[in-house]
Amino acid sequence: MTAPEHLTISGPEDILGYIPHSLGYRPSESLVAMTMQGKRLGATLRVDLPTGGGRRSREAFARTVAEYLLADKDADGTLLVFFADGGFDDDGREGGAASSLRPLLADLECALGLAGMPVRDAWRVGAEYWRNVYCTDNGCCPLPGRPVTEIRDSRLNAEMVYLGSSVGAPPGAASPGNADTPAADDADVMAAERAWDLALAGKRTHRAQFDAVLDAWAAALQTVSPDAIPEGAVPLDSGPLATGEGGGLEPELAGFLRASLRVPAWRDAVLVMAAAGRAAAAAGAEAFGIFSAGTGQAVSCPPLPEVRLSPLLPEQSEDSVGDAAASGCGPDALPGYGEVLLGLSPRVPDWDTLKRLERLMHDLSSCGGGEAQAAALTATGWIEWCRGRGSFADASLTRALEASPGYRLAELLSEVVRRGTLCGWAGRREAAWQKFGSDAA
């Protein structure tokens, strides 16, 4: 995530108060690095602090941080924040944890300086106190530090809350509202999924059935509100199917959607449709050669909810086609599945629809386990990776592999996340996800 351009930072408390809103949670035992573009904040990176290891391990860690931050092409400086306890005791004596960070800071200064992003300032934040690591003036930086309440009471933190931002639980932690109680709809949805799985057998290569599946997803996406789910929430247990605008999904439709997720080609088409438009999803499926002539079987699809007319999904607009052309796909070409799934095209994805898809996948993953749940959690993990939130992506992908060990797409994306590969959209300021949207004021 990149920083909204309208926020004004007046002091270190504002910078430190912004970080939990940027990440979506309060980090611990972490290094947070923020790029600077002149006087403007750029990208935010969080990584676990290294444990153990010697000089070579620290140097490798520092180089890796620098390589991640190089994705911000306009960066000309860096701010560092060490979130760790054990800095100074009440008598002002430096603890072992604080002294152990000094060699790491020196390695980071070297690596980032060589990368053209010299460290401009650095802080340490503990459970009770925070302190500038360079300051030696007890007048402005008293020992053991300044109280963290100054961060929580900062002007920028208040402004972020006013804009609707909230700080949630760390990735993988239970989110509020995930009750471990069975819902009446769960059994109905699972029964519908089994029935639809049988009905769809033998139709996976039929173009008419493919179109019907996308029709169902397009209709479902317009029944959910993108604002009803806390960003980054990962359901830990099965729970009730959440309701959205218009009363939520009927069990028959929810079961159909879960059954369709068990078909990899349809699952991928849904992701591409949400990010790049329906035309790109259909063209990519054609390019992969998944369609056969068919045998005249009737299309299987449940009754769909009535939806308002909207440019949300059904067809790709002329602007989207222009974006695809600008991305290097050719003057008349649409982006391929690989380009979309890696965030290389379109120039800017449809973030609003992706947020709706995240909400819908969250609901569907809460209905039951198995391959459908793994597919829904994998989709959620992909969306988080597209946003540049690797910790949340990893949490969702880990849950996907618990639901269905060996689930291939989750394995592939997990490897991408572990290697620190950045989604193409997250690496470009004009395309990157903005928590409050481009029109936030």
pLDDT, tens digit (0-9, with 9 covering 90-100), for 93-143 = 555 556 678 999 999 999 999 999 999 999 999 999 999 999 888 888 888
- Residue 326, pLDDT score: 41
For position 277, what pLDDT does the model report?
A: 96
pTM higher than the cut 0.95: no
Which of 45-51's residues contact partners 24+ apart within 8 Å by CB, and which partners? Answer: 45/69, 46/391, 49/82, 49/84, 49/101, 49/104, 50/104
Please state, rounded to an integer, the average pLDDT across all residues of the chain. Answer: 83
Confidence of residue 72 (pLDDT cuts 50, 70, 90): confident
Q: Which distant-in-sequence residues (6+ apart) come within 8 Å of 316 by Cβ?
A: 276, 277, 278, 279, 280, 334
pLDDT at 298 over 80: yes
Q: Is the pLDDT of residue 360 over 90?
A: yes
- Facing residues of 206 across strands? 292
Mean pLDDT of 262-266: 97
> Is a pLDDT exceeding 90 seen at residue 343?
yes
Contacts of 173 (CB under 8 A, 6+ apart): none
Cα gap 129→133, rounded to integer Å: 12
Of the listed ranges 64-73, 330-339, 390-399, the least confidently predicted one is: 330-339
Q: How far apart are CA 31 and CA 53, in angstroms?
A: 16
Least confident residue range of 2-16, 76-90, 214-228, 312-326: 312-326
Instruction: Look at 107-111, 243-247, 338-342 and tell me which has the smallest mean pLDDT.
Output: 243-247
* Cβ atoms 238, 367 nearer than 8 A: yes
Out of 21-35, 52-66, 217-231, 288-302, least confident range: 217-231
Query: According to the per-residue pLDDT averaged within each range, which of 82-86, 115-119, 316-320, 390-394 is highest?
Result: 115-119
- Going by pLDDT thresholds of 50, 70 and 90, the confidence category of residue 359 is very high
Does the pLDDT of residue 243 top 60, yes or no?
no
Does pLDDT of 219 surpass 80?
yes
| pLDDT value of position 285 | 94
Q: Which residue has the higher pLDDT, 190 or 168?
A: 190
φ/ψ of residue 2, rounded to 5 = -105, 160
What is the predicted pLDDT for the residue at 51?
Answer: 85
Residue 222 clears pLDDT 80, i.e. is over it = yes
189, 241 in Cβ contact below 8 A?
yes
The highest-confidence range among 90-104, 179-193, 392-406, by mean pLDDT, is 392-406
The SS3 assignment for 206 reads: strand
Burial of 39 (0-12, 13-18, 19+ CB in 10 A): exposed
9, 123 Cβ separation under 8 angstroms:
no
pLDDT over threshold 80, residue 319: no
Q: Give pLDDT, residue 91.
A: 53
pLDDT at position 244 over 60: no
Distance, first Cα to last Cα, the chain: 17
Q: Sheet of 40-48: strands edge to edge?
A: 40-48, 30-37, 77-83, 119-125, 129-132, 146-147
Residue 156: per-residue pLDDT: 84
Predicted local confidence at residue 275, as pLDDT: 97
Phi, psi at residue 421, to the nearest 5°? -65, 130
Higher-pLDDT residue of 162, 261: 261
Look at residues 390, 435, 387 and name the one whose alpha carbon lies nearest to residue 413.
390
Average pLDDT, stretch 311-317?
45
Cβ neighbours around 53 below 10 Å, total: 12
376 closest CA partner among 275, 254, 225 = 254
Contact assessment for residue 78 and residue 33, using Cβ atoms and an 8 Å cutoff: yes
Q: Are 158 and 220 a contacting pair, CB within 8 Å?
A: no
Take residue 409 and report the two structure tokens written for it: 């797409």
